[in-house]
Amino acid sequence: MGFSTIAIHAGNEPDSATGAVSVPIYQTSTYAQEALGKHKGYEYARTQNPTRSALERNIAALEGASFGFAFASGMAAIDAVLKLVKAGDHVILGDNTYGGTFRLFSKVLANYGIEYSLADTSDLQAVESSFRPNTRLIFVETPTNPIMTVTDLAAVSGLAHSRGVKVVCDNTFLSPYFQRPIEYGVDIVVHSTTKYLNGHSDSVGGFVALNDEQDAEWIRFVQNSVGAILSPFDSFLVLRGTKTLAVRMLAHDRNGRAVANFLADHPKVERVYYPGLASHPQHELAKRQQSGFGGMVSFETGSLEQAKKVLEGVKLCTLGESLGGVETLISHPATMTHASVPEETRRRLGITDGLIRISVGIEDIEDIIEDLSQALG
């Protein structure tokens, strides 16, 4: 079946009780049992909920995974995956990763004896030199947030698997519509469903997709034991969102390309970070690994003063954190999404005070470009 067919139908079987075409919101904390030890597959809502189960089947199918688990946030999903490692284990973390992921490693996991080192995962030599005898995982974002660096997933997975190391990929920026990491050897895929999967800026959630049955059983145990589950209502919202994922991602991609080209030609923009531009250092890799380039664009204005002028000068675009909604969001990574990253590290990675990130929405492209044009001056 095609992607849109899977998105609309996987997990979305008509309700057995009423025939409802849309999966109902099972807003309940517990379930009546017929007798001791006899129930209909549901005992307690932290452990199972029909709405959440439908969503888990849906996104797992979209990622080409056998197992899927929905969490209360993207960070909760990442934290659950990292419970596959224990004190004394080592993780290779992409050096240009989301600030929240970096904060989880540096401020939380480090306190529990989990070692990590930063590496440019787009550089295979850098990855290879980062392996230690106790390395258990490589955590990759591709494209990275916000510099849009692309990692060769097949190459990194091959390198990792030759050493018995598993690979985790955060696929939030592209969604399974434009990139399916498991097809390139990645073991575990994580998402912030808050972003493109939901797509309407009205729900916070996370997801884990994988094929290994033993790891899946542990993730299931963690999900139930810790309890950072996605609510029935949020599950319903994301399930509604995935039905239109294909048409939305095509619109984001079309507008993203147009905005990137506009910015690349603008005299007040020093550099544009977008894998869809031929000038991007991993453009050819992105063409092979991705079926599109998406709606995330970053650009360098040259100074905090100029960045502030743009950020506070837009009228249609909304200044705010997050991404992946139908509306265009504009943000300042150095003081917003990546404020937890040390300044020296930010500068080395290119996350300067003059850098702006845009989550290009699906408004009429002429209106988006007109707004950016007047803000740039």
Banded pLDDT at 16 (limits 50, 70, 90): confident
Do residues 193 and 239 make contact, with C-beta atoms less than 8 angstroms apart?
no
CATH architecture of 245-376: Alpha-Beta Complex (3.90)
Alpha-carbon Rg for the chain, nearest whole angstrom, is: 21
pLDDT at 325 over 90: yes
| 339 contacts 348 by C-beta, under 8 angstroms | no
What per-residue confidence (pLDDT) applies to 94? 97
To the query of whether residue 103 is one of the catalytic residues in this protein, the response is no
Determine the average pLDDT of the residues in 91-107.
95
Query: Any catalytic annotation for residue 38?
Result: no
- pLDDT of 17 reads 85
3-state DSSP assignment of residue 116 = strand
Task: Inform me whether the pLDDT recorded for 209 exceeds 90.
Answer: yes
pLDDT average, residue stretch 84-99:
96
Residue indicated by tokens 């549901």: 42
The encoded tokens of residue 354 equal 């003059």
Share of the chain above pLDDT 90, in %: 93
Residue spans of the domains in the chain: they are: 3-242, 245-376
Is 170 an active-site residue?
yes
Amino acid letter at 8?
Answer: I
- Quote the crossing angle between the two packed helices 304-313 and 365-376, to the nearest 10°: 140
pTM: 0.97
Q: Which of 15, 31, 46, 308 is catalytic?
A: 46
- Provide the token pair at 346: 């930010």
Which residue did the predictor score with more confidence, 36 or 168? 168
340, pLDDT greater than 90: no
The whole-number average pLDDT for the span 164-188 is 98
Least confident of 40-49, 136-145, 359-368: 40-49
Give residue for tokens 């399974």. Answer: 176
Please tell me which residue in 98, 116, 177, 196 is annotated as part of the active site: 98
Q: What is the largest CA-CA distance in the chain?
A: 73
Cβ proximity of 297 and 263 under 8 Å: yes
Q: Which of 79, 89, 170, 353 is catalytic?
A: 170
Q: Which of 237, 241, 281, 271 is nearest to 356 (CA)?
A: 271
Judge whether 120 counts as a catalytic residue. no
Determine if residue 19 is left, alpha or beta; phi over 0 gives left, psi from -120 to 50 gives alpha, anything else beta: left
Average pLDDT over residues 62-75: 98
Which class does domain 3-242 fall in? alpha beta
